Amino acid sequence: MLVGIPTELARGDRRVALVPDAVPPLLKKNLEVALQAGAGTDAEYPDALYAQKGATVLSSREELFAKADIVAEVSLLTTPDSVRKADLALMRKGQALIGFMNPLGAPAIIKDLAARGVTAFALELLPRITRAQSMDALSSMATCAGYKAVLIAAEALPRFLPMFMTAAGTVTPARVLVIGAGVAGLQAIATAKRLGALVHAYDVRPAVKQEVESLGGKFVELELETTTSADSGGYAKALGEEFYARQRELMHSVIAKSDVVITTAAVPGKKAPVLVTKAMVEAMPSGSVIVDLAAEQGGNCELTEAGETVVHQRVKIIGPVNLPSSVAYHASQMYSKNVTTFLLNIIKDGKLALDLDDEIVRETLVTRDGEVVNARVKELLK
């Protein structure tokens, strides 16, 4: 079987699904690897490196899809409609596709894949179990986003993050508040702390308090009922508007004291909850910065605009999109390791072997034999 690596066509995406170091492990499993020419260039992985590792470089996208039995992608299906339709036309019955597909946010696209007869695996649906950690691409990309969010905030903030004791006097450290202590939030906490900021963090899941404190952050505790705040997989659940209204009320004074607010609260397949209101923004110190990592899902801040920097009463609200792409070299390296491990889990003797008793296979498999087979996606399509 041949594993194909196409160029990512989502606007501004510099990542590549598999890096050159992923090629030898796949060859050892009796697989072949082919690369669309230039697919890794923007992530600083030139074609020559792939060739040195044993991959074949193909000149056209059409040839790659025609030859590939398995296509490994990052976000093939989040491209503009015309581009996505062109790629769907290149796919064929029995071909396998692995990558991010936004199945809970855009289930109609999964239906289109099924119509082409593609066997598709959506990595967003990977179960949060110990055995799947090395395949968890969402966590890998969240790590990149959390790290970069702090650097963006530091660049935009008109003050130092750390405390300085100088002949000109003492500079007090900036106060950073991270809302949401998932993977992105924890990485943001760690990065801000390394840069010397005074870091506070809040999450609806009280269980993460110990993780926040282990990174040097102070956990913000609000008087809220949070016993149903996480699902069985450990992801935050969407809660009622009454809960979010009370949360915003209690959060107001905390945000008003912060120089930087980094928001990371997102619920798979849902619009991001609004946690930072216009009134909260207006209560922040002049020159403060908000970096909203949920911008692509509508934003945690009422004033966020995806891909834009909004300035409101001298507070900057930054809504970055696809932050992992801004550190494409290491984002691709991490994603590649996740995909390679996933591939090796579903390949036996050089062929695709789908064991539906394996929770990893069963939960990520969204289409097969012309049908949408994932229960959560099927429910959304009703």
> Could you list the active site residues?
128, 133, 136, 139, 235
- The order of strands in the sheet holding 70-72 is 56-58, 32-36, 2-5, 70-72, 96-99, 119-122, 365-368, 371-372
CB 65 within 8 A of CB 88: no
CA-to-CA distance for 146 and 49, rounded, in angstroms?
Answer: 29
Tell me the two tokens of residue 297.
């899902």
Cβ-based neighbours of 313, under 8 Å, separated by 6 or more: 281, 282, 286
SS3 for 119-153, per residue?
A: EEEEHHHCCCCHHHHHHCHHHHHHHHHHHHHHHHH
CA-to-CA distance for 274 and 131, rounded, in angstroms?
Answer: 34
CA-to-CA distance for 49 and 55, rounded, in angstroms?
Answer: 9
CB 224 within 8 A of CB 204: yes
CB atoms within 10 A of CB 135: 23
Residue 213 dihedral angles phi and psi, to the nearest 5°: -70, -30
CA-to-CA distance for 273 and 279, rounded, in angstroms?
Answer: 16
Cβ-based neighbours of 109, under 8 Å, separated by 6 or more: 77, 84, 101, 102, 103
CA-to-CA distance for 80 and 88, rounded, in angstroms?
Answer: 12
CB 132 within 8 A of CB 121: no
**198-202 vs 218-219, strand pairing mode:** parallel
Residue 238 DSSP label: P
